[in-house]
Amino acid sequence: MADATPVNVTAGEGDHTYKFNVAMSCGGCSGAVDRVLKRLDGVKSYTVSLETQTATVIAGEGLDYDKVLRTIAKTGKKVISGEADGEERGVEVKDE
């Protein structure tokens, strides 16, 4: 599966930009991340790139970093690093 690149990855006022470095070795891996982000409420747009091993999410005010992190981690892919609105954040998955 090719990289999924939905349109509009620019955050608007009140939105958050979350970036994750995710260990993905094949199209199936990036596809799994794509599928969970597509279904996550509060995601306005996102990109998942197998080539750069990244997932970038534009989220509305009600969707926090930890929820997106947990959602990606549930795919079984290792999240190596993350940032929220340009600030580095931890990648330890916390219980809801």
Whether residue 84 has pLDDT greater than 50: yes
pLDDT in tens, 17-42: 999 999 999 999 999 999 999 999 99
Domains annotated on the chain, with CATH: 16-87 (3.30.70.100)
What sign does the dihedral 78-80-84-89 (CA atoms) show? Answer: positive
DSSP 14: T
Partnered with residue 17 across adjacent β-strands are 58
Q: Where are the alpha helices (DSSP H) in 22-83?
A: 27-39, 65-73
Whether residue 2 has pLDDT greater than 50: no
Model confidence at 5, pLDDT cuts 50, 70, 90, reads very low
Please tell me the total number of residues recorded for the chain in this structure: 96
38 compared with 1, residue with greater pLDDT: 38
